[in-house]
Structure 1
Amino acid sequence: MRLRIFTEPQQGASYETLLKVAKAAEELGFDAFYRSDHFLKMGDVSGEPGPTDAWVTLGALARETSRIRLGTLMTAATFRLPGPLAIAVAQVDQMSGGRVDFGVGTGWFDAEHTAYGIPFPSLNERFERLEEQLEIVTGLWRTPAGETFDYDGRHYRLAESPALPKPVRPEGPPVLIGGFGAKRTPRLAAAHADEYNVPFHQVDDTGLAFDRVRAACRDAGRTRPMVYSAAQVVCCGRDEAEIARRAEAIGRQVPELRENGLAGTPAELQDKIGRFAELGAETLYLQVLDLHDLDHLELLATEVLGKV
């Protein structure tokens, strides 16, 4: 089981804070450092010093780390045009030596679009745009050197693009698609994703979502393998007092976290991770909400990572 650290910087984190977490994740042996792609805080937090851009952050971390993979859960298709997005991700992939994963979704948080002047179309249009962006971004990356790329869609049109720069691998970085939708998400994942992620659902519901994507892969005649993964908020402690302290620091209740996330003692986390593994999950994204508690990462590394 690969364990990856997943952060939510819009809740309040500077680049310097993210750098400390990414370096700790690398030194402690985690597989990857991921971050959300949001521009506005959620819930009762200050959000200060304000948002940091996902791909600017990852570009900097690409030069500050050497082993861990770097990625997004998930880049919002509403935030960026597909051509410039393909350029940015390919450049960060080059800067990291091929350690980038490309997670992309429709975008869903209306308020952040309003706050920063970003159009927020209907859900149907957002899915249409996501599908076209997947076709364009991967098409640009996979166009042979010296050839051009053209695309004529409902929402985007490209003509005689030189399809540069190129990522490290000819096929481009791995593509992640996530969500819990019953129809469109499984179809998109089967067509475009290297990895399908279920965010913040209980074990049984995660299994149902995995099964929907497996069925979509069969229906599409897909033969290449799919990586299945899940994201869970994490709150680990050696005893009940430590668990409660960490839950309080992120504004959550221990019973709720035990039910809906990865919370409890290291042994409890190992058991629940095993249940995800039984469903076919190969990777778990540990949502770390208190980015100043590096002792939490060390506990997870020493008492959980090495035992799953």
Structure 2
Amino acid sequence: MDLRIFTEPQQGASYETLLRVARAAEQLGYDGFFRSDHYLRMGDGDGLPGPTDAWITLAGLARETERIRLGTLMTAATFRLPGVLAIQVAQVDAMSGGRVELGLGAGWFGEEHAAYGIPFPERRIDRLEEQLAVVTGLWETELGDTFDFEGTYYRLKDSPALPKPVQQRIPVLLGGMGPRRTPALAARYAAEFNAPFASVEETGAQFARVRAAAEERGRPAHDLVYSNALVVCVGRDDAEVARRAAAVGREVDELKANGLAGTPSEVVDRIGRYQEVGSRRIYLQVLDLDDLDHLELVATHVKPQLG
């Protein structure tokens, strides 16, 4: 079971804060450091010092880390034209020495689009499908050839399809709980499918849909990595769990019901239930980015107990 750190910087985090967390995650042996791609805070709080851009952040981290995988959960397809996104991600892949992964979603948070003047079109899942075709098509075009695409929303002609990523194939992550289009897109384009903030039962059902969609395309279901994103709140005892929950304004019982909360043994058991339905990677959503002791506790008391 891989463990990756997942952050939500729009809630309030500078680049320096994210760098500290990424370096700590790398030193503690986590497999990856991922961040959301949002420009507006959600819920309570002031969101200070303000949003950071996902791919600018990852470009910086690419030069200031050495081993850890870097990526997004999820880049919004509404934020960037697909040709530009393909260039950005390939460049950051080169800057990292081939450690980048692209999580790509349709975009859903209308308020942030309004706040920053970003168009929020209808039929976003259709646009996402074309974005996936363009981004992967550009990367896969042979050196010296050109790429053309004629879609409803995007048209490319005689693109040199440069630059090329360092990795032979940058892993593309798709996720969500849509019952039909989401599994179909994952079966066609994804190296990994992520079930975000879902129960064990919901996860198992969605993984089954993705496996069925993959097999329908003639692709082995085990060709994909199956993963979850879940809030983490671990303490050495009940008092420490309660302290960490209070620090992020959450209730312990709610976190235990909807995330990974409790003592190390409780969290190991909870992860085991996700593992039973096919999850092989967990993105630990860390809400208090100043609490690096939390990362160390999980690395030393949870991670070694996982298969």
CA distance in 2, matches of 1:279, 1:100: 27
Partner of 1:232: 230
Deviations 1:111-160 (A, max 9, x none): 000000011112xx201110000000000001000111000000000000
Deviations 1:253-279 (A, max 9, x none): 000100100000000110011111111
What amino acid is aligned across from residue 271 of structure 2 in structure 1? I
Deviations 1:136-187 (A, max 9, x none): 00000010001110000000000000000000123x3100000001011011
Partner of 2:290: 292
What amino acid is aligned across from residue 170 of structure 2 in structure 1? P
Matched, 1:143 2:141: yes
Identical positions, percent: 67
CA distance in 2, matches of 1:57, 1:19: 9
Secondary structure of the corresponding residue to residue 71 of structure 1: strand
Deviations 1:14-64 (A, max 9, x none): 000000000000000000000000000000011000000000000000000
Aligned match for 1:185, one of 182, 188, 191: 182
Matched, 1:266 2:264: yes
Matched, 1:215 2:222: no
Matched, 1:167 2:165: yes
Tell which deviates more after alignment, 19-28 or 274-283: 274-283
Deviations 1:208-228 (A, max 9, x none): 110111111122221370110
CA distance in 2, matches of 1:304, 1:215: 32
Q: Does the CA-based 8 Å contact 2:264-2:301 persist in structure 1?
A: yes
In the TM superposition, what is the alpha-carbon distance from 1:307 to its structure 2 partner?
Answer: 1.4
Matched, 1:206 2:203: yes
Partner of 2:35: 35
Partner of 2:51: 51
Partner of 1:95: 95
Q: TM-score, normalised by structure 2?
A: 0.98
Q: Which ranges of structure 1 fall in alignment gaps of 5 or more residues?
A: none
What amino acid is aligned across from residue 12 of structure 2 in structure 1? G
Q: Does the CA-based 8 Å contact 2:93-2:167 persist in structure 1?
A: no
Matched, 1:80 2:80: yes
Residue-pair matches, total? 305
Partner of 1:157: 155
Regions of 4+ moved over 2 Å: none
CA distance in 2, matches of 1:146, 1:229: 36
Matched, 1:23 2:34: no
Q: TM-score, normalised by structure 1?
A: 0.98
CA distance in 1, matches of 2:200, 2:45: 28
In the TM superposition, what is the alpha-carbon distance from 1:6 to its structure 2 partner?
Answer: 0.1
CA distance in 2, matches of 1:249, 1:114: 30
Secondary structure of the corresponding residue to residue 223 of structure 2: coil
Partner of 2:67: 67
Matched, 1:116 2:113: no
Q: Which ranges of structure 2 fall in alignment gaps of 5 or more residues?
A: none
Secondary structure of the corresponding residue to residue 3 of structure 2: strand
Secondary structure of the corresponding residue to residue 13 of structure 2: coil
Deviations 1:179-207 (A, max 9, x none): 00101101110111010000001111111
Partner of 1:105: 105
Tell which deviates more after alignment, 216-225 or 176-185: 216-225
Partner of 2:253: 255
What amino acid is aligned across from residue 238 of structure 1 in structure 2? R
Q: Does the CA-based 8 Å contact 2:134-2:149 persist in structure 1?
A: yes
